Amino acid sequence: MTTYAIGHLHEVELCADIVEYLEKIDATLAPYGGRFILHGGPVERLEGHFCGDLIVIEFDSREQAHAWYRSPAYQAILPLRTRHARGDVFIVDQVAQPHRAAEVLKRAA
């Protein structure tokens, strides 16, 4: 099932380490089939409060997402980002299709 690695980053200090991280991350994704779906950009806020950048990377499976994140190649560049950006990073699976909103009620019961 398709899985997304999602980062909501804020307080990003654009510096040499962040530039190096951005220059190297694509090569770490390639062996695991990771591809950017969203990578920052303008956000049109309709409700609530949002600040920072949203990054979404798609993988074919949760296993591939975990393998990428834990890979030596990604772990080698990860400190370049974590020293200069704050935020949350997590993975989440796509819902099975077709999906109806009320299906989440089954999980709550």
pLDDT recorded at residue 2: 97
User: Structure tokens of 43?
Assistant: 């956000």
* SS (HEC) of the chain: CCEEEEEEEECCCCCHHHHHHHHHHHHHHHHHCCEEEEECCCCCCCCCCCCCEEEEEEECCHHHHHHHHHCHHHHHHHHHHHCCCEEEEEEEECCCCCCCHHHHHHHHC
What residue numbers bound the domain in which 67 lies? 3-108
pLDDT of res. 66? 98
Q: What is the CATH number of the domain that holds 66?
A: 3.30.70.100
Residue 107: per-residue pLDDT: 79
Digitized pLDDT (tens) for each residue of the chain, 109 residues in all = 999 999 999 989 999 999 999 999 999 999 999 999 999 988 999 999 999 999 999 999 999 999 999 999 999 999 999 999 999 999 999 999 999 999 889 877 6
Per-residue pLDDT, 106: 85
Cα torsion 8, 19, 58, 92 to 10°: value is -30
Q: How many domains does the chain have?
A: 1
